[in-house]
Chains A and B, each alone.
Chain A
C-alpha cells in the first residue's frame, strides 16, 4: 500500500523513530479512511432517490442512463463495499503494530507493562479521532463478551496448571467467592454512606445502585491479571492464586450483577430474593461447569476419530470450547467457568489423540488469538475513555478508589487468617501482599458498567470504573515488578522437563497415598488416587484412540521427552547432549561394564568385524516410506514426524552400536552421535549394494535422491535438487557414473567420497544413509 511504503524506506532511521513513524502514518490512514467513508456516504446520498439500500452499481446505472454515455471507468472507488472488514482489519493491524513497536523500544517495555502502553495508545488514537470530529468506536459489550473475551479465557483455561490449581482449590474458591462478596458489599455499602454526605451532590444514588456499582467494581479481572503477571514471572503458587481467583469469581459477579440490576428496577429486596440469589449462585456456577464438561467430553470423544483428518483437529477444540461458552451464555450461566471446564476436561484426552503438528497449531493459534484480543481490549479501553460521556464527581471517584484498595487488603488479610487454619503450607505475609496487590480491575468491569441502562448515574459510574481500572493497571501494574524484586518474592522456576523429577513426582504421589492409608484417613491423595484409577479404568478407554489409552503417564512423559530431543536434533542439525548441560556422558558410562568383560571374547579379525557390523546394521533398517506430494487432503505421511521417528531410531541404533563395541575390539566412535547431516529419503524401492571399500573414488553407490521438498539436513543440500532432477530425467537403476554429465561428476564424486570414506569417524555417517535397503 502506498502509505506504508514510506515507512519501509525510513527503516534506516533508528528503531524508535520507525515505530513512531509507522504509528503516525497509520493513524493518518485511519482518519483518512473514516473521512473518506463520510465522503462516500455523502456521494451515495446524493445519487439515491429512495431510502432503500442501493448498491453502487445501481447508482452507476442510474447515472449512466440519465447522463450521456460516459467513458468506461477504468478506476473506480467503492469503499462501502468493504467498509466493515476493512475497518476491522485496520484496527487489528494497528493494534499489532503497536505491540510490535513496544518490543522494539527496549527500555520502555522493561519498565512499563504492555497493558499500560496499549491503553496509552488507545487514548492517543481516541484523542486524534475525536480531534478530527469523528465518532470513535467504543468497546461494545457484545463485541467484548462474544468475540474478545473467549480466546483469552480459553487460552488460560486450556493451559491451566492442573496440579497447582487443584491443590489450592479451596484457597482459590475462598478468595473468589467470599472475597468478591465481601468486596461488593463493603464497597457498595460504604459508597452509600459516602453518598449520604451532604454537599457531595450524590443524593439520588440509592442503596441498590450502590450495591450494583459495588458488584461491578469488585471483581478481579483475568485479562488484566494475565497481562501483568505474565511479565513478572512470579512463583506458581501466587500466580495460580490470583489468576484462579480472577477466573472463578465470574460466577459471583454474574449473579450479583443480575440480582442487583433486577432489583434496582423493582426497588426493594426481600429475604426470599436473597435466598433465591444464593440458589442462583450455585446454579450459575455448577451449571456452567456442567455445560463445559459436557462439551469437553464431546470434544475428547470426537478427537478419538480424527486420525484420518488431522488438518481439522485444532478446529474441533476451538469450536467445542466456543460452543460451550455460548451455550452457557444462553442460560445466563457463567460462560467463563464453562470455558475453563471444557478446556480442562478436554485436554488430557485430546492431547493423547491429536498429532504433534495439530497440537503445535492449536497452541500457537490460541496464543495468537488471545494476544490479539488482549491488545484490542486495552486499545479500545483507551479509546472508549476518550469517547464516552463522562460525569466527573470528585467525591465519588476518589472514595471509590480508596475503598477498593481498603476492601481488597482487608479481604485478603481476613481470609488468609481463616484459610491458614486449613492449609498445610501457610501463606506468608509476603504472599498476602502480592495477592492483595495483584487484584487488578479491567475491561470486564467496564463492559458490565456499559451494559447499564442509560442515565446520569451510569456516566458517573463509568467514570469511576474507568478511574479505578486506570489506577490499578497503571499504578499497581507498573509498581508490582519492582516490588516483587524488592520483597524478593520467589520467582517461577524453570521447567526443564526432567525425567527424574517426573519419576519422583509419581513416586511421591504413591508414597503419600500409601502413608495416608496407613495413617488411616482419607486425605487429598487418597481421592486423587481414586480419581486416577477411575480415569484409567473407564474414561480413558472411551476417549483415547488406540493403544495410547492404556499408556501409563510415565511412559507418555518419556515419549514426549524423546520427541522433544529428536526435534531439537532435527532443527539444529546436530545432536543435543541433554536438556541443559553439555556433557560427554553417554550410555557407556553408566552401563555396568563388569558383566560384559567377564565373557571370554575371542579376538576377531578386523574384516570380520566389519562384516558383522555391516550385517547388524543392515538388519536394523526400517523400510523407508515414500513421500507423498503435499496435498491438503492427504497428509498421511507427515514428513516432519517421519524425520523425528527416524532420528529417534538412529539414536537407538547408535546406542546399539555402542553396546556392540563393548564386545568387539575395534574402538567405537567416540562421538556422541553421528552428525545428522546426511538424511535423505528414498523415493523408490531400490536394492542397495553398499561397498565399504576404501577407495575414494569408486562410486558404485547408487543413490536415488528424494524430491527437493524432502528434509535434507545436508550441508551440500543445494546441490541435491539438481542432481535428483537430472537424475530422474535419465532414469533409475543404472550406475550413474556412465550417465552423468562431466560437471556433475565432481559433485557426485565429492558425495561418494564422503560416503565411502573409511575409518571409524565416517562409518557412522555412512551407516546413516549408506545402507538403505528398501
Chain B
C-alpha cells in the first residue's frame, strides 16, 4: 500500500502542475473516478451514462460527449475517443475551476477564453469552427426537450432569433444577399461577453474527503 501510495502521489503531483488542482482535490477526484470506472483504468460513455442523477438533465448527451471530445484536451487533436483515462478526466474537469484571489487579470482573461472554448466545442458538433443555424437549433431543442411538446416550433423560432442577434451584433451591415455562415469563436466570445464566464462557470471542488457521498452508482 505504501509503495503504490507514493507512486500515485507522484503522478498526482505531476497532474497538479498540469491542471491546477490541489493535491487533495485530485485525490478526491481520483476516488470518484475509481467509483465511476469500477476500479479500472479508463471510463467509457456507458459508465457516465449510468449515473442516475444525470437522467433528468436535458443536455446529458452533450455533457458526456464533452468528456470524450479530444478538443478539450488542449492537445490540438480532433475527434472523439471511446474511453478516457484519469488524466483526460481531470483535464475536462479543470475547465470548471474558479478564479482565486491571486489570479491576475490576464489569467482571468485566459480562463474565460478556455471556458468559452469548452462551451463552443459543445455546440460545434461537426468541428468546422462555426456554429451553424442547424447546430444552434439543435442546442435550443435539447434545452427544451424536457419541457414538453411546445418545444419544437418554439425552439426553431428562438434559435433563429438568437442567430439573428449574433449576426447583427457582430456583422451589422450585411447586404441582403450575404449569408451569415455561422457563429465563429470570436463572435461567440463577443455575444457572451456580459456573462463573465470566469466567475460563473465553475463548481466547487472539495478539499475534504467525500467518499461518504454516493451520488453515482453504488460501489460493487
A residues lining the B interface (CB < 8 Å): 420, 424-426, 428, 493, 496, 498-501, 503-508, 510-526, 529, 533, 550-552, 554-555, 558, 561, 577-593, 670
Q: How far is the CB of B38 from chain A (nearest CB, A)?
A: 14
Q: How far is the CB of A590 from chain B (nearest CB, A)?
A: 5
Contact yes or no, A507 B143, CB < 8 A: yes
Interchain residue pairs A-B with the least CB separation, the first 6: A552-B147, A583-B168, A583-B172, A517-B53, A514-B63, A585-B168
Contact yes or no, B98 A425, CB < 8 A: yes
Bound-complex Cα distance A757 to B192 (A): 45
> Which residues of the partner chain A approach B143 to less than 8 Å between Cβ atoms?
503, 506-507, 510, 554
Contact yes or no, A503 B158, CB < 8 A: yes
Q: Does B86 contact A (CB under 8 A)?
A: no
Q: Could you mark each residue 204-220 of chain B with 1 if its beta carbon is under 8 Å from any beta carbon of chain A, else 0?
A: 11100010011110000
> Which residues of the partner chain A approach B91 to less than 8 Å between Cβ atoms?
none
Contact yes or no, A507 B59, CB < 8 A: yes
Inter-chain pairs besides A500-B165, A510-B58, 12 sampled, C-beta below 8 Å: A503-B143, A510-B143, A512-B203, A516-B203, A518-B216, A520-B32, A521-B215, A523-B203, A555-B150, A558-B161, A561-B161, A589-B180
Contact yes or no, B164 A578, CB < 8 A: yes
Contact yes or no, A589 B148, CB < 8 A: no
Contact yes or no, A514 B59, CB < 8 A: yes
Q: Does B15 contact A (CB under 8 A)?
A: no
Contact yes or no, B54 A518, CB < 8 A: yes
Which chain A residue has the least Cβ–Cβ distance from B201? A508
Q: A425-B99, A585-B164, A585-B180 are in contact. Are A519 and B203 (CB under 8 A)?
A: yes
> Which residues of the partner chain A approach B210 to less than 8 Å between Cβ atoms?
520-521
> Which residues of the partner chain A approach B169 to less than 8 Å between Cβ atoms?
578, 580-581, 583
Contact yes or no, A585 B158, CB < 8 A: no
Bound-complex Cα distance A581 to B166 (A): 11
Contacting B54 at CB < 8 Å: which of A496, A508, A514, A586?
A514
Contact yes or no, B53 A582, CB < 8 A: no
Bound-complex Cα distance A499 to B139 (A): 13
Q: How far is the CB of B160 from chain A (nearest CB, A)?
A: 7
Contact yes or no, B162 A503, CB < 8 A: yes
> Which residues of the partner chain B approach A523 to less than 8 Å between Cβ atoms?
203-204
Contact yes or no, A519 B32, CB < 8 A: yes
Q: A552-B147, A578-B164 are in contact. Are A501 and B203 (CB under 8 A)?
A: no
Bound-complex Cα distance A551 to B200 (A): 26
Q: Does B51 contact A (CB under 8 A)?
A: yes
Interface size on B, residues (CB 8 A): 73
Interface residue SS majority, chain B: helix
Q: Does B171 contact A (CB under 8 A)?
A: yes
Contact yes or no, A517 B51, CB < 8 A: yes
Q: Does B2 contact A (CB under 8 A)?
A: no
Bound-complex Cα distance A506 to B158 (A): 13
Q: Could you mark each residue 113-143 of chain B with 1 if its beta carbon is under 8 Å from any beta carbon of chain A, else 0?
A: 0000001001000000000111000011001
Q: How far is the CB of B178 from chain A (nearest CB, A)?
A: 6
> Which residues of the partner chain A approach B160 to less than 8 Å between Cβ atoms?
587, 590
B residues lining the A interface (CB < 8 Å): 29, 32, 35-36, 48, 51, 53-54, 56-60, 63, 67, 93, 96, 98-101, 119, 122, 132-134, 139-140, 143-144, 147-148, 150-151, 154, 157-158, 160-169, 171-176, 178-180, 191-192, 194-195, 199-206, 210, 213-216
> Which residues of the partner chain B approach A592 to less than 8 Å between Cβ atoms?
132-134, 179
Which chain A residue has the least Cβ–Cβ distance from B98? A424
Return 26 A-B CB contacts under 8 Å, by A number: A498-B165, A499-B161, A500-B166, A511-B63, A511-B122, A512-B96, A512-B202, A512-B203, A517-B53, A517-B215, A518-B48, A520-B210, A521-B204, A521-B210, A523-B203, A552-B150, A552-B151, A554-B144, A554-B147, A558-B158, A578-B169, A583-B167, A583-B169, A586-B176, A589-B178, A589-B180
Q: A425-B199, A515-B96 are in contact. Are A552 and B144 (CB under 8 A)?
A: yes
Bound-complex Cα distance A296 to B168 (A): 41
> Which residues of the partner chain A approach B139 to less than 8 Å between Cβ atoms?
503, 507
> Which residues of the partner chain B approach A496 to less than 8 Å between Cβ atoms?
194
> Which residues of the partner chain B approach A580 to less than 8 Å between Cβ atoms?
169
Contact yes or no, A581 B168, CB < 8 A: yes
> Which residues of the partner chain A approach B161 to less than 8 Å between Cβ atoms?
499, 558, 561
Q: How far is the CB of A281 from chain B (nearest CB, A)?
A: 29
- Of B53, B93, B157, most buried by chain A (CB within 10 Å of CB) is B53
Contact yes or no, B179 A589, CB < 8 A: yes
> Which residues of the partner chain A approach B57 to less than 8 Å between Cβ atoms?
510, 513-514, 517
Contact yes or no, A520 B192, CB < 8 A: no
Bound-complex Cα distance A590 to B67 (A): 31
Contact yes or no, A520 B216, CB < 8 A: yes
Which chain A residue has the least Cβ–Cβ distance from B53? A517
Contact yes or no, B163 A526, CB < 8 A: no
- Chain A-chain B contacts (Cβ-Cβ < 8 Å), number: 189
> Which residues of the partner chain B approach A516 to less than 8 Å between Cβ atoms?
203
> Which residues of the partner chain B approach A505 to less than 8 Å between Cβ atoms?
195
Contact yes or no, A558 B164, CB < 8 A: no
> Which residues of the partner chain A approach B157 to less than 8 Å between Cβ atoms?
558
Contact yes or no, A588 B176, CB < 8 A: yes
> Which residues of the partner chain A approach B53 to less than 8 Å between Cβ atoms?
517, 526
Contact yes or no, A551 B195, CB < 8 A: no
Q: How far is the CB of B62 from chain A (nearest CB, A)?
A: 8
Q: How far is the CB of A425 from chain B (nearest CB, A)?
A: 5
Bound-complex Cα distance A592 to B205 (A): 43
- Of A506, A508, A525, A589, most buried by chain B (CB within 10 Å of CB) is A589
Bound-complex Cα distance A525 to B93 (A): 16
Q: How far is the CB of A588 from chain B (nearest CB, A)?
A: 6
Contact yes or no, B179 A499, CB < 8 A: no
Contact yes or no, A555 B144, CB < 8 A: yes
> Which residues of the partner chain A approach B195 to less than 8 Å between Cβ atoms?
501, 504-505, 508
Contacting A558 at CB < 8 Å: which of B122, B154, B173, B200?
B154
Bound-complex Cα distance A519 to B192 (A): 26
Which chain A residue has the least Cβ–Cβ distance from B199? A425
> Which residues of the partner chain A approach B96 to less than 8 Å between Cβ atoms?
512, 515
Bound-complex Cα distance A592 to B163 (A): 12
- Of B54, B119, B164, most buried by chain A (CB within 10 Å of CB) is B164
Bound-complex Cα distance A424 to B213 (A): 21
> Which residues of the partner chain A approach B168 to less than 8 Å between Cβ atoms?
577-578, 581, 583, 585
Contact yes or no, A555 B158, CB < 8 A: yes
> Which residues of the partner chain A approach B178 to less than 8 Å between Cβ atoms?
589
Contacting B192 at CB < 8 Å: which of A501, A512, A579?
A501
Bound-complex Cα distance A523 to B143 (A): 21
Contact yes or no, B203 A515, CB < 8 A: yes
> Which residues of the partner chain B approach A589 to less than 8 Å between Cβ atoms?
167, 174, 176, 178-180
> Which residues of the partner chain B approach A558 to less than 8 Å between Cβ atoms?
154, 157-158, 161
Contacting B158 at CB < 8 Å: which of A420, A519, A554?
A554
Which chain B residue has the least Cβ–Cβ distance from A494? B194
> Which residues of the partner chain A approach B164 to less than 8 Å between Cβ atoms?
578, 585-587, 590
> Which residues of the partner chain B approach A554 to less than 8 Å between Cβ atoms?
140, 143-144, 147, 158
Bound-complex Cα distance A558 to B150 (A): 13
Bound-complex Cα distance A506 to B175 (A): 33
Contact yes or no, B150 A551, CB < 8 A: yes
Contact yes or no, B172 A581, CB < 8 A: yes
Which chain A residue has the least Cβ–Cβ distance from B173? A584
Contact yes or no, B158 A522, CB < 8 A: no
Contact yes or no, B194 A493, CB < 8 A: yes
Q: A498-B165, A515-B96, A590-B160 are in contact. Are A503 and B174 (CB under 8 A)?
A: no
Q: How far is the CB of A637 from chain B (nearest CB, A)?
A: 25
Contacting A424 at CB < 8 Å: which of B35, B151, B204?
B204
Bound-complex Cα distance A503 to B135 (A): 14
> Which residues of the partner chain A approach B140 to less than 8 Å between Cβ atoms?
503, 554
> Which residues of the partner chain A approach B48 to less than 8 Å between Cβ atoms?
518
Bound-complex Cα distance A577 to B171 (A): 13
Bound-complex Cα distance A512 to B150 (A): 25
Q: How far is the CB of A648 from chain B (nearest CB, A)?
A: 11
Bound-complex Cα distance A505 to B147 (A): 17
Bound-complex Cα distance A579 to B164 (A): 11
> Which residues of the partner chain A approach B56 to less than 8 Å between Cβ atoms?
529, 533
